[in-house]
Structure 1
């Protein structure tokens, strides 16, 4: 049961990591201009959450109600093709200035070029994660067959592709970072929960893969018994197989010859 739970945990995490929006995050609490053509200043928590398919920008007032308006925004911008259209829609809706400022940094016209960094790294990270998911499925299939050694190899391959996805996403940190300045404060994105969860899952897969390979080499029979594969119950000394009986009613006209056994004597 524990083995099943661990396997389901690994598979669920790999799938979930593709759709989370907290691979990288940035937060700041500051005073900022609320909306365009207005001198209203609000105090708010501003958050940037980066996923593999887009960004999520949050704005929450301190306090929540200011200027007779509830300030609690959570806007999603995806970069499947381009963010230009979504940015224009945000302008038409009249979203607060901090959200528009952050979203503008990810458009094609922005000098920061964040869209190119995050979009391509996210695509490659997602592709390698789905490859890791395929390796995980093959691992479970091989664990149900008398080829435990290859199941261990596939678990190591699962870990390798998880690490490849992390390396792909990490390329965004190797380029000059664009600093976001809102009001009198500034901030930049850093690794967040999903990135570290991917690291922990990759390490877990590595440990499991190494243990399976090592035990299969050292004690292969015990490993097969542990996974309930490749064990013939009738050949086990501790298990007695029951005798079979033939119903003679269904054997009319059939000649049955008794089985003969040969005894072999061995002289020393």
Structure 2
């Protein structure tokens, strides 16, 4: 029995297991929103075969463009890669050790936090060694860290006390936990706030204002999608405003974030220079697409309203005042010429032609019924003859008809 339960035990002590480190390779919230938009896209793609003819392509274009704009907004708000930098270097590992490791240090800055990564090269490295005769051990660790430091959104007091900013308190907690020195070295740059060295303040302010502007673009995007089945001119204006707010957020972030000088973090083998990341470029691209899409909707609705109605699947006969003026008297309605029907595109021309034929058939049927009620040939002839005879007998020919 003693040999059975002696695994992983030293000198009869409790079972000891090696530490298991599991770094976060992706952001869970960002991945969740990407998956949500992919599921929405798949759901819309499944109903595409239900549309006839060219309407399939029209519906597919509308869905893809709209989902791309919405995903750009939400991934810009929640993305953790507005500004990023990465450097491979030789660096000290932890406090109270003289071990140096070869690793890749990275920093990814979002609107409300910064992610600092440290990955060894190789991942498993010897970090400590003792030469005592009675306890000659070699310590190796799995070097793969990812730590997030948040500053949302209060600046706080100077220092690391209970009333300081959130990132300062998280930095002090990371020191107590004994995180590797490269991670603490990068995070410390965002805790400084004085003597024109205020990178943390500038990134916090830039993130706050950008966050507000982008969240304003999100409801505009929802309203624009709702208006796409109602009034196309307002839909185009809504998409233009959505894109403008997205571009304003990019300009605000690029203007405020540097502060008084750009952020550069030196290491032994180089300097970390920060550049714009995927979240920044995705927001910019989504804004440009939204502006162009809205302008096309507005221009097409102004010059080619029937084509725009066909593209968005709107039945013009349900709301005719949006597409042609309604006359008071049906007889005064001018019939569309053959040329106008040739210029009109798609199902709108067919529906207008059907409406014109139905109108003609109704008018002709009403005239036929009226003629049948009023006209009686025998009675008309007899009445006219009697009138003319009376007129001849009394005063000669007369043109009066009763």
The two structures have a TM-score, normalised by structure 1, of 0.85
Q: 2:121 aligns with which of 47, 58, 62?
A: 62
Contact 2:199/2:259, CA 8 A, preserved across alignment: no
The 1:48/1:119 distance shift into structure 2, 3 A limit, reads: same
Measure how far apart 1:239 and its partner are: 5.1
Higher percent of residues as helix: 2
Contact 1:31/1:41, CA 8 A, preserved across alignment: yes
Aligned residue in 1 for 2:144: 72
Residues 1-268 of structure 1: pairs in structure 2 closer than 5 A: 1-2=59-60, 3-67=62-126, 68-80=140-152, 81=154, 82=165, 83-109=167-193, 112-145=197-230, 147-171=231-255, 172-173=257-258, 175-232=260-317, 236-237=351-352, 261=366
Q: Deviations along 1:134-182, whole A, 9 cap, x unmatched? A: 110110111110x101111111101100001101110224631132012
Gaps of 5+ in 1: 244-259
Report the structure number with the largest CA radius of gyration: 2
Q: Secondary structure at the match of 1:18?
A: helix
Aligned residue in 2 for 1:255: none
**Distance in 2 separating the partners of 1:34 and 1:192:** 27
**Distance in 2 separating the partners of 1:117 and 1:188:** 16
The 1:138/1:164 distance shift into structure 2, 3 A limit, reads: same
Measure how far apart 1:189 and its partner are: 1.2
The two structures have a TM-score, normalised by structure 2, of 0.58
Measure how far apart 1:190 and its partner are: 0.9
CA RMSD after TM alignment: 2.3
Measure how far apart 1:27 and its partner are: 0.6
Gaps of 5+ in 2: 1-58, 127-139, 155-164, 321-350, 359-364, 371-402
Higher percent of residues as strand: 1
**Distance in 1 separating the partners of 2:243 and 2:295:** 11
Q: Name which structure has the greater RCO, CA cutoff 8 Å, separation 6+.
A: 1
